[in-house]
Amino acid sequence: MNLTEQGIASYLGEDRLRYLQTVSVGIAGAGGLGSNCAMHLVRSGFRRFVLVDFDRIEPSNLNRQAFTLEQVGANKVDALAANMHAVNPDLELDLYIGKVNGADMAELFAPCHVIVEAFDDPTAKKALVETMLPSKKLVVAVSGMGGFGKSDAIITRKVSDSLYLIGDGETECSDETPPMSPRVGIAAAKQADVVLRYFLDRFATEGEK
What's the domain count of the chain? Answer: 1
Model confidence band, residue 176 (pLDDT cutoffs 50, 70, 90) = confident
Structural domain including 89 reads 3-205
Mean pLDDT of 32-51: 99
pLDDT in tens, 73-117: 999 999 999 999 999 999 999 999 999 988 889 999 999 999 999
> 208: pLDDT confidence band, cut at 50, 70 and 90?
low
pTM of the shown model: 0.95
**Rounded mean pLDDT of the chain?**
95
Question: For residue 38, what is the domain's CATH number?
Answer: 3.40.50.720
CB 190 within 8 A of CB 154: yes
Give the span between the Cα atoms of 33 and 6, in whole angstroms.
27
Are 72 and 57 contacting, i.e. CB atoms less than 8 angstroms apart?
yes
